[in-house]
Structure 1
Amino acid sequence: MASDAEKRAFLASLPCDAESVLSTLTSIEDVWWVAAAAVAAVRTGTAWLAADAERVLAHALERSASFDQEVQAVLSKDVDRLLAWLDAEPDRLPRVVLRRKLWHMRWLLSIPLSRSKSALVETDMARLSDIPLLEHARTLCLAGNERALRALLGTNASVALCLYPHRFVLLRLLLTCGGVSPDHLMQLRLLPGTHLPVADRESGAWVDALGSFALWTEHPGMVSALARRGAATHPPAPPPPPPALSDWYMDVIRELEGRWGLVDAAFALAQAGERMGMVPLRAARDELAFLHMLVYELHAEAWSVSTLRAAKAADLVRLVVSHPAPMSETAQRLRDAVLPYLQHGTYADAHTLHAYSASALGVHIALMVLDTLSPARALPLVSAMLSWLDKEDQMRLTLVVIGAYDATDRASLAMYADMLRDVPLPDASPSPLYLVLSRAPKHDALALWKCTHVASSHQLMHAVRDVRVLVDMAQALAPIRAYAPSYLWGDDVHRHRAHRMAVELVQHALTQRGHERAALERILQALAPWIGTHAPYLPTECVRTLFKQLLLARAPILFNEVVHALPHTCPKIAALLSHEDAEALVLETARAWTEQAPTCDPLHGALQRARDTLDAVPPSPSVNAELSFLQLLGLLHEHASPLSPKDVRATSRLDLLARVLSSHRDAYRTAQPLARACMINEDDDVRIEAMLTDAAAASGDVSAALRSCDRLVTRVLSLDHTQHTEAYDVAWRTCFQLAKQPWMWPDHRAPTQVFGHALRLAPPEHISTILTTLAPLAVRASHPPTIPRRDAQPTHAWSRLLTRTEEQSTAQLLDSVATQHAPNAARMARSLFDMGAAWWNEAK
């Protein structure tokens, strides 16, 4: 038996190696001194191996094992008597404390031993041995040392039972503050709900071997008794367990994601809970899976569950497709992540989309993609998405994409054609759905989709075949001018847009300097297959409009060349525009230019364009007539006519000549070219010469009047009397009226000759009237009267007398003569009667 001196020498030698400590402790018989010395040796043996320290503590525990049976017997009988039992002997309380210290230090040594068999004793083992077990476990969790906690629990079931009521708090600390992966905790059998074959069916990590441990060391009754004697701290009361494991998981998931921003940890915990059969976690798993994709694949670090729930579906799609990733990867992400989330996720407008099928949701996603990206990026993505959809939704999406978006680049047109590559061309009139969509508001994809949603499969197929024409037409015109198929798909394509297209295509052709004809022929060849009698083909009037625009662009020579070459260059267009149609178009255009002019000035721009337009076709009667009309306008302008070409066309030409002759006193002198231009019918020259004769006579130009009268008689005698009765009537009346004006003639021979013409041309029933009028000429011939001249002009009374109607008598006319003019009128009448009598006597 070792003496007290030897014991003091041993304590003084600390620290020393473990073998020396074991040999010394073995030689000492005092069990409780050995236990205290073992604690002191391990506290100072910081350079020891943990395995050596564990052997020293195990030796001390084994030497004092009989004390465990005594304590267990007390606890098994009556826990309430434990405090009295401790107070019964003064050595019991220190021995209990020492025994618990041995167990505590041995549990702490399990931490380095779990890392390696050659691990050293922790340097702070002395401090750790004085910390309560629960606080030490909490420190391990805050540090994220899950392996230490697992080693501590696995040392003895007493520790597991001690910490078991606090497992939810400890594991929450380990997952949140410690940042430990849920997968790792699941591997270590630490997660709640890890169902393994152990007694409590809860977690094999908390209880390993129910029958081989000293329950009293951490028994609640023992800890309470020691705390009352100041030998231990009161253990905190454990929080109440959650109503269900899924609730605890949801709380931890919310903390991980909402407070710490650990989306990956929250997602992993949700996955772990679902793998353990917790169905309520499935929705959280799906939501966190989508958020995990946004944060870690698309680098949307600012997004959270709250942001996700406040976002709309369009915002989510926009975020995904805006990420610079390959198109195939983006399409796969839309299908694998976005589509499932929109079906079952919690976002702002989920109530409007949850009722849709997966195929209909695919259509909505495609529309959102088209609203977000440019057509060049969106169309390949939409084309890849078609494989997800049902056949009917594929046709609906095709109609909506082509109808609502105005992409004109070649890549987009190629994508349109690829979407319709297996669709045949239509062989009948347009489908009702095509016509309905043509009237729908453009650039509203959702409205178009709703219109197609009620259509049957047959109607959809028919409409898609019609749209194929628009796409092929746009592709054919793309090398010339870019048109979107949606531009060609309009309710007014037969009216306004065909006209606008013709204007733009002609302008494009005319910009090809030196190659205008070739460019125009290429345009006609590109348009030829797409001109028909009904939509979606272009209307046949488009050809006429195109050539009319060519005329309006003042290219008549190009018009003539292209029209004459049409049978060889483009037979289909030639069948729609014959030479007669071309001539009618030229005349219509020329007349339109003419009617736009406000004046008859031949130098006016509109009249010059009309004259240039007529050069577009070879001469013909109709073209010559229009040229004559333009010449007539020029002649009218020379006489300062205030009429416009529109008024001239609406007025008779003889009336035009009459207006000119009446507007100017001497117009008859220069009116011959205008008179020739006014001749339309065969006997118009008779009427024209009559008008010139009257005009010359009214101006007092006897010689001009006689010349016109002679031409009048010559012309009328060349006409057949039976066919031109009106011409003869005009001729004799003109001669008669001219001869009845004796004041004009210097002698009696001229009027006698004119009266002769009147007698020759007049019908028999008017001969007596003429002869009655001629009687006074004979008297004047034998007694030439002296007729006073008043400014070389007859008086008003005399003029009325000469211009009286047949129904009026001479007396009536003389009665209307004013008093101051009566003497002069009487003298002139007497002279006329004397001249007639003299002429009559000579004739006898």
Structure 2
Amino acid sequence: MTTTAAWTNLANDQLTAAIVRDTLGPVKDDLWVVAACADRIVDDPEVQRVLLDLGLERTTAALRRAQTASEIDHDEGISNSDASRRDALLSHFNNLPTDARLCAMREDDPWADTAAPEPTVAAAPPVPLSVFLTDSLVRSACLLAASQWFGALGIIFQRHTADLWPYRFSILNAIPEHVHPLSYRECLPAIDPSTNLEKSWTAIPWRTETDLCEGADARAVLATYQIDPATSDFALQSHEQLLSAKELSEWYTKHIRRVLSSTGMIDVALAIVQHAAPQGVPGLDEMGEELSLLARLVYDAPQGEDDDDWTLDRWYTMSPISVVRAYVAHSTPETLAKDIRRLVMPYLFVLESRAERAGNPDPALRTRILYEYILNVPLETAAAVFEASKPILPMAQRIIQNDQDMARLALACLYGSNSLDDWPTMNRIFECLPAWDIAKDDDQEDAADTTIASLGAYVAPSTSRPHCTASDLLVFFQPLPLSSLSRALDVLDVHLESGEILSRWSVPAPLRWFLQSNSDVPEQRAWANRMARRAGGSDDKLNGLEDWEWLLEDMLKLSGKGDSGLRGAFGLLSQDEVLRIFLSGLLSTGSEHCIQSPKNKLSLSSETLEDICLSCSRELYDNASSGNYTFGDMKLAYEWSSTSRPPSDRLLREKEFIEATSRLSSFNVMSGRGMPISPLEIRLTKDRLSLVSQVLSSNTDAYKHTEVILDLVHKLGLRDNVVAQVKTLAMLADTALQAEDFQRAYETSERMVDTIQTLRSSYPDINTPEIQEASEVCWVACFQLGRQVEFRDLDKKLSLVGRALELCLPEKLHDVLVAWRRLENEDIEAREERLVYGKSAPKPASSATMSLRARLQDFHMPSPPLLNTPDATALASRTFRSVAANFPFRGRSQASHEDEGSRSGSRRPGEGPGEEISAQATRVLSKGIGWLIGADE
């Protein structure tokens, strides 16, 4: 087998150093041997070393001949310029093309270092040797950078500086962004202070002597033969020139942002800045500050479970107060003070120094931002800050170092809080505040009290500011002098104690309420009422006398003055008024036994007790849903109206009114909405008789119980109103008339007449409006019943009409007399008939008919009848208005009127339609409209 065939049949993994030497060594053709060595690239360093050595050895003769050709030209006096050397080499290679091919394939020896390092055991390289030898240096450097082989990368930077320098930034960009810069700090650019430009690399060539084939002249000549061995690199940006300081600063800034955007690793970005600053790179100080502060937030501050990713762009958009809140967002009350000292305060110092560097010094910047944070945190958090600022602590350890500022902040936080149950926390804050020993001066105290009064108006809500915040309050407290601050703290002490008391009795108020109500008597009274009522109505209802005495003690304490001379929450209320309010609450809960107890320590006048009982009873009455006084609020109202011993007239009237209300409820009286009438509607009814009217109209047998109805009127508050009694009797008589119970109607009318007679005899002047009104109601009612056709008892009818004649107005005498004459004639006819026929003899039909016709004729006698005169028409109209508006009794049906007409007989000859209508109107008026009360005129 020939050498060529033997070499070709050998695979790369079959090659050994001995095989290479034995196979290629005997071959005399240098060009073939060199081509065979260049063709084989293996991963075994020993075999590759033999191939390179053999190839270099076989090209040495050609290299020497080319070197001699260029030197001969120089010896002959030809100028040793680049052009002359290239011409000499070109002539030589033209004469010996084999030498040109040998020089073109000549390779550098990577193991030719003059000082080879000690052999060490290293990890497997990131790329195989074959790839490393065939790739370009730039690509190999990028692969080493991406694989974080920074030692090897530094070596090729030193050994091949000229080839890699233009691509230095592309190689650095190949390094993974998460890698810490300390690992490759030797590769990062720096500033040369002598030139203020980018510092060049220190080149350490891998050999001192340059091979002829590496020279520019040889490369130029070989390029003409198109046998240049250089491989083409992938597209990379190159920058041959040194960067200026500004350009290098811009590169670092972009590199840092790229690291942050791709990894979010702030510590890596900060380490890059910290490396660049000592290297003289300008313009990175502010970014270094920001990254340092941001790193504290990300790595040092307490973190939550679901924190968002922090970026430099987000950091730049945050306001200082937002940064402060972010630093301590997850701090506990136990760690808050420590976190403020190690995180917040350094940040505030940086802001202050930055403002000074910018030429805008702001000495109050730190305290302003810190105070803004304190004013807007929960009370528990604020308490931790105040406890870390106590005046007894060393000044360097205090978070708030100014005592007056501390007082102002505490006042603003406490009075600006909406809390109703954080009284222990508020007291913790108060106990941290400074105490000043200031001599009392009347003028100063007056000024301080005026300030507190002004503060009450300041915290009052308005349309422009519905809620006064803690920041608003700090603006108010800021200009106050020391004396006013001290007085304000004394007031705060009283308000905190008052707040605890109110909270204990389930009527808590925000602390600002004590300022708002400082000069508001109605507000203090309303809150005292809430306290008295809520204490007995809460889930933990007071039952024993001791509990109620404790409540009274607290209420009296709130109305008094403390050791400082400052009033409590109810300071504008007198002790007597507080006692009244207390008892109202006591009575409203059904605890009257506490008042009647022999252990009762209350000293109240009977009038005061009566007022309280009456007020409580009426309140319970008005809030009752049912009028039945056997249960619910109405039962309590009834009990309190019976509390006073002996009962007073006012309480007795209230008790009777409750009884009347309960009785009305039993009659199922309805309201205008079609629902059972409520107690409050009964109290608000102006015309109480209208309620009686509803009872009579909705209950068919109610009129039979005269005494019950009169007692109802009596208890509705009309017991001394004789006119109301007369009107009630008139309603009863009319209701009986509607039911055609003429005997009961007559008896009621007689009682009404007796009442009028008694009334008229007891008054010296019978022309008083009350007597006139009662008399008119009485005579009209008697007249209505006396002229009723169906009522057959002439003697009683004559008696009734006679009473009407006695009581009616002079202008009505004529009309009543007409009726009287008619009844008188009828009575005469009846007497005559009895004389003729006897008591038991039946009347002839014609006589009965003629008698009835005669009676009907009497109703239409020539003299002006009652319903045919203008006065009678006006009377009927007035009667209808009064009755329809106030007493809506049921009218009789049209059928009853028709029956009545049929019973009275047909129309007599000569009677016109108008006379018949007049007669029917008379019957409708007497039977349908009823009686007259309360005439408008």
Which residue is 2:593 aligned to?
A: 557
Q: 1:332 to 1:803 in 2, by over 3 A?
A: same
Output the CA distance in 1 between the equivalents of 2:818 and 2:123.
157
Pick one of 404, 424, 429 that aligns with 1:419.
Answer: 429
Which residue is 1:351 aligned to?
A: none
What is the deviation of 1:321?
5.5
Output the CA distance in 1 between the equivalents of 2:605 and 2:278.
81
415-424 or 356-365, larger mean C-alpha shift: 356-365
Asked whether the equivalents of residues 507 and 530 of structure 2 are also in contact (C-alpha less than 8 Å), the reply is no
Is 1:511 aligned to residue 541 of structure 2? Answer: yes
What is the deviation of 1:612?
1.7
Q: 1:258 to 1:820 in 2, by over 3 A?
A: closer
User: Deviations for 1:209-233, whole angstroms, at most 9, x for unmatched residues?
Assistant: 9x99979997777766666664542
Which residue is 1:521 aligned to?
A: 549
Pick one of 326, 335, 345 that aligns with 1:327.
Answer: 335
Q: 1:431 to 1:204 in 2, by over 3 A?
A: farther
Alignment map for 1:779-794 (pairs within 5 Å): 790-792=794-796, 794=798
Q: 1:699 to 1:147 in 2, by over 3 A?
A: same
Which residue is 2:161 aligned to?
A: 160
295-304 or 116-125, larger mean C-alpha shift: 116-125
User: Deviations for 1:283-320, whole angstroms, at most 9, x for unmatched residues?
Assistant: 44345445545655648786253773698769978876
* Partner amino acid, structure 1, of 2:145: C
Output the CA distance in 2 between the equivalents of 1:821 and 1:121.
145
Which residue is 1:430 aligned to?
A: 452
Output the CA distance in 2 between the equivalents of 1:593 and 1:301.
57
Alignment map for 1:139-150 (pairs within 5 Å): 139-150=143-154
Q: 1:455 to 1:400 in 2, by over 3 A?
A: closer
Which residue is 1:766 aligned to?
A: none
Which residue is 1:308 aligned to?
A: 314
Alignment map for 1:526-541 (pairs within 5 Å): 526-531=554-559, 537-538=569-570, 540=573
User: Deviations for 1:73-122, whole angstroms, at most 9, x for unmatched residues?
Assistant: 99x974455533544656997998899824x4345986xx3xx6756899
Is 1:584 aligned to residue 611 of structure 2? Answer: yes
Output the CA distance in 2 between the equivalents of 1:44 and 1:637.
117
What SS does the aligned partner of 1:239 have? coil
Higher normalized helix content (fraction of residues): 1
Asked whether the equivalents of residues 498 and 558 of structure 2 are also in contact (C-alpha less than 8 Å), the reply is yes
Asked whether the equivalents of residues 594 and 600 of structure 2 are also in contact (C-alpha less than 8 Å), the reply is no
Which residue is 2:202 aligned to?
A: 206
Pick one of 188, 193, 197 that aligns with 1:191.
Answer: 188
* Partner amino acid, structure 1, of 2:314: L
What SS does the aligned partner of 1:387 have? coil
Output the CA distance in 1 between the equivalents of 2:645 and 2:250.
98
Is 1:619 aligned to residue 619 of structure 2? Answer: no
249-258 or 387-396, larger mean C-alpha shift: 387-396
Asked whether the equivalents of residues 109 and 121 of structure 1 are also in contact (C-alpha less than 8 Å), the reply is no
Asked whether the equivalents of residues 641 and 655 of structure 2 are also in contact (C-alpha less than 8 Å), the reply is no
Which residue is 1:254 aligned to?
A: 257
User: Deviations for 1:430-452, whole angstroms, at most 9, x for unmatched residues?
Assistant: 3434433341699998x725634
Which residue is 2:86 aligned to?
A: 83
Any gaps of 5 or more consecutive residues in structure 1? 1-11, 17-36, 346-353, 568-576, 717-723, 738-788, 828-844
* Partner amino acid, structure 1, of 2:335: M
What is the deviation of 1:239?
1.9
User: Deviations for 1:537-581, whole angstroms, at most 9, x for unmatched residues?
Assistant: 3463776545423322222223555994258xxxxxxxxx88764
* Partner amino acid, structure 2, of 1:191: L
Is 1:609 aligned to residue 659 of structure 2? Answer: no
What SS does the aligned partner of 2:254 have? helix
* Partner amino acid, structure 2, of 1:335: V
What is the deviation of 1:418?
2.6
Asked whether the equivalents of residues 636 and 674 of structure 1 are also in contact (C-alpha less than 8 Å), the reply is no
Q: 1:417 to 1:101 in 2, by over 3 A?
A: same
Output the CA distance in 2 between the equivalents of 1:440 and 1:108.
91
Q: 1:368 to 1:725 in 2, by over 3 A?
A: closer
Asked whether the equivalents of residues 611 and 627 of structure 1 are also in contact (C-alpha less than 8 Å), the reply is no
How many equivalent residue pairs? 667
User: Deviations for 1:141-187, whole angstroms, at most 9, x for unmatched residues?
Assistant: 22212222334445x6xx334433332222332364xx54223433x
Is 1:172 aligned to residue 182 of structure 2? Answer: no
Report the RMSD for the aligned CA atoms in angstroms. Answer: 7.1
Pick one of 81, 98, 101 that aligns with 2:108.
Answer: 101
Output the CA distance in 2 between the equivalents of 1:519 and 1:442.
44
Asked whether the equivalents of residues 617 and 637 of structure 2 are also in contact (C-alpha less than 8 Å), the reply is yes
* Partner amino acid, structure 1, of 2:541: T
Q: 1:223 to 1:149 in 2, by over 3 A?
A: farther
* Partner amino acid, structure 2, of 1:265: V
Is 1:268 aligned to residue 281 of structure 2? Answer: no
What is the deviation of 1:248?
0.8
Asked whether the equivalents of residues 79 and 221 of structure 1 are also in contact (C-alpha less than 8 Å), the reply is yes
Q: 1:679 to 1:270 in 2, by over 3 A?
A: closer
Output the CA distance in 1 between the equivalents of 2:591 and 2:175.
88
Q: 1:592 to 1:121 in 2, by over 3 A?
A: closer
TM-score (structure 1 length as normaliser): 0.57
User: Deviations for 1:263-282, whole angstroms, at most 9, x for unmatched residues?
Assistant: 43223213333444545334
Asked whether the equivalents of residues 423 and 468 of structure 1 are also in contact (C-alpha less than 8 Å), the reply is no
Q: 1:394 to 1:435 in 2, by over 3 A?
A: farther
Q: 1:468 to 1:94 in 2, by over 3 A?
A: farther
Asked whether the equivalents of residues 400 and 449 of structure 1 are also in contact (C-alpha less than 8 Å), the reply is yes
Asked whether the equivalents of residues 318 and 369 of structure 1 are also in contact (C-alpha less than 8 Å), the reply is no
484-493 or 336-345, larger mean C-alpha shift: 336-345
* Partner amino acid, structure 2, of 1:138: C
What is the deviation of 1:249?
0.9
What is the deviation of 1:589?
1.9
What is the deviation of 1:793?
5.8
* Partner amino acid, structure 2, of 1:137: A
Output the CA distance in 2 between the equivalents of 1:258 and 1:704.
107
Output the CA distance in 1 between the equivalents of 2:111 and 2:493.
85
Which residue is 2:399 aligned to?
A: 387
What SS does the aligned partner of 1:430 have? helix
Alignment map for 1:798-837 (pairs within 5 Å): 798-800=802-804, 802-803=806-807, 818-821=820-823
* Partner amino acid, structure 2, of 1:305: T
Alignment map for 1:464-479 (pairs within 5 Å): 469-478=494-503
Asked whether the equivalents of residues 270 and 288 of structure 2 are also in contact (C-alpha less than 8 Å), the reply is yes
What is the deviation of 1:335?
1.4
Is 1:245 aligned to residue 265 of structure 2? Answer: no
* Partner amino acid, structure 2, of 1:149: L
Asked whether the equivalents of residues 594 and 607 of structure 1 are also in contact (C-alpha less than 8 Å), the reply is yes
Asked whether the equivalents of residues 626 and 634 of structure 2 are also in contact (C-alpha less than 8 Å), the reply is no
Output the CA distance in 2 between the equivalents of 1:180 and 1:402.
51
What is the deviation of 1:626?
1.5
TM-score (structure 2 length as normaliser): 0.52
